[in-house]
Amino acid sequence: MERNVYKEIEDRLIIRTAHIKQTQLEVGVDSYSPAVAQIVATADNAGPPADYNCLAMIGSSKRGTISLRLFARADYENARFLAVGFQAQGCLALIAAASMAAHLCENRSWKQALSIRVDDLMAVLGSLPNDKRHVPFFAVEAIRALVGDCLVHADQSRAFIEDYVGCDDTMLECMLCEHCSLRTLRNQLRYLEMQSAQAVKTA
């Protein structure tokens, strides 16, 4: 009996650059809109801009490790983002959403950046596979975390930051993210507040 032990493996292109790492194999891209492929192929805003002075990171490892970072050169005096770049590790949808989030924040005020919603990203990205429709929520959370990082650097209080950014641990964006740099910063500020209150009590 003759056995054919050799099997032709279908070609699967995986993106690997200094700032973009596609970690999820995808057979075909038919369920993605042409816009997603175009954004990924021409993501010229990958990587931190020169002289960036704020950054944010969100991520999850529940269904495979994904992470998204936004970097910005911010004008603190006028509360604006002058240049924004990204790093992404995950699927094509995450890479496209990260690039588009960075693009939409550039040359906008922090308040304008915070007004960017999932629907705004989807209007540009077009159709996504059913199991990727949650991905734009990560990008919106990263924008919120980026603004929050600026406010922390500006020495704003935790209460001010949470009110300005609209932090709410019950929001879908927040619940999806296991890891959020703004959540970490908020917890650090909360800890400092508790230490300060304890010092007053014992003084």
Question: Which residues, in sequence order, are CB contacts of 99 under 8 Å at separation 6+?
Answer: 39, 40, 43, 45, 46, 86, 88
Give the per-residue pLDDT at 182. 95
Q: How far is Cα 105 from Cα 146, in angstroms, rounded to an integer?
A: 10
Task: Please state the pTM of the whole predicted model.
Answer: 0.88
Q: 169 and 186 in contact (C-beta within 8 Å)?
A: no
Question: Which residues, in sequence order, are CB contacts of 178 under 8 Å at separation 6+?
Answer: 59, 60, 61, 62
49-78 per-position pLDDT tens digit? 999 999 999 998 876 688 999 999 999 999
Give the per-residue pLDDT at 86. 98
> Where are the domains positioned within the chain?
20-198
Q: What is the CATH number of domain 20-198?
A: 3.90.1010.10
- pLDDT (tens, 9 = 90+) of the chain, 203 residues, equals 455 554 554 555 577 888 999 887 776 667 889 999 899 989 999 999 999 999 999 998 876 688 999 999 999 999 999 999 999 999 999 999 999 999 999 999 999 999 999 999 999 999 898 888 899 999 999 999 999 999 999 999 999 999 999 988 787 778 888 899 999 999 999 999 999 888 888 87
Q: How far is Cα 111 from Cα 113, in angstroms, rounded to an integer?
A: 5
Give the per-residue pLDDT at 64. 66
84-103 per-position pLDDT tens digit? 999 999 999 999 999 999 99
Give the per-residue pLDDT at 170. 81
Q: How far is Cα 124 from Cα 134, in angstroms, rounded to an integer?
A: 15
